[in-house]
Amino acid sequence: MTCSVLDFDTILLDMDGTLLDLYFDDQFWNKRVPDAVARQRDMTIDEARNLVFSALESAQGTLLWYDFEHWSEQFNLNLDALQRTQSKLIRPRVGTENFLKWLCKQDKQVILATNAHPKVLTFKLSVIEQQLPAFEHYFSKIVSSSDLGHPKEAADFWHALCHQLQIGPQRAILVDDNPHVLAAARRYGIGGQIAINQPNSHLAPQIVPNFDNVCFLDELITESIHDH
């Protein structure tokens, strides 16, 4: 049985693939960026994909991997403009709104903790607020790993987060779709971890081993003393 978020004081929620559909990100980096590189450099799409994926892979798990400005320079592309053309793909996952509405009644500290670069975070929040005007108000704090100088895959991120926000690690639970992030949080001492097993709505669910799994956030809604 999945552990209850009500057993914890602080709820840490990932953004892309947890609160929001990862379809946008997958399409952007796997299709739109390689397409743009191919056009710009007069390459085949396969050559462009190899170039983009090789560059990204070399930085995986580091803060550089999430650095939007770095990749804009690396690929000589206006990624800001490119992501705006895809904004219609940015949407909350099924169950996100119901879960956040329920969670805000539970007297918990709710923190959005994302690896998204500040530019990407600001852009996505502006798009989501057209669909869910109260979205930002559900969180006591919104944190980008860039602000802390370490990716969520690193113990230093969790140390800095807990120190700055005065979070008791054992009294916190993380909901995330990235198994490497979940494992890092567990190693650091974050008390609970729940994996999202269908971050991209266009792909089938895949069980994340070694962690409690849910498909949608509203599966975590349980009766509490506030419901009586």
For the cut 60, the answer to whether the pLDDT of residue 228 exceeds it is no
- Catalytic positions, please? 7
Q: Are 27 and 54 in contact (CB under 8 A)?
A: no
pLDDT at 69: 96
3-state SS string over 20-35?
ECCHHHHHHHHHHHHH
Q: How many domains does the chain have?
A: 2
Q: What pTM, to 2 d.p., does this model score?
A: 0.96
Q: What is the pLDDT of residues 77-112, one digit of tens each?
A: 999 999 999 999 999 999 999 999 999 999 999 999
Amino acid in position 202: H
State whether 177 and 78 are in the same domain. Answer: no
State whether 74 and 149 are in the same domain. Answer: no
State whether 217 and 179 are in the same domain. Answer: yes
State whether 182 and 160 are in the same domain. Answer: yes
Residue where a domain stops, chosen among 87, 117, 138 = 87
Instruction: Kindly give the residue spans of alpha helices, DSSP state H, lying in 59-153.
Output: 68-74, 79-84, 96-103, 118-131, 145-148
Q: Which domain holds residue 95?
A: 5-21+91-227
Amino acid in position 105: K
State whether 140 and 69 are in the same domain. Answer: no
State whether 146 and 204 are in the same domain. Answer: yes
Residue 115, token pair as written in the block: 């690896």
Residue where a domain stops, chosen among 68, 87, 106 = 87
State whether 37 and 113 are in the same domain. Answer: no
State whether 130 and 78 are in the same domain. Answer: no
Q: What is the pLDDT of residues 20-74, one digit of tens each?
A: 999 999 999 999 999 999 999 999 999 999 999 999 999 999 999 999 999 999 9
Domain at 164, CATH number: 3.40.50.1000
Residue 109, token pair as written in the block: 């500290």
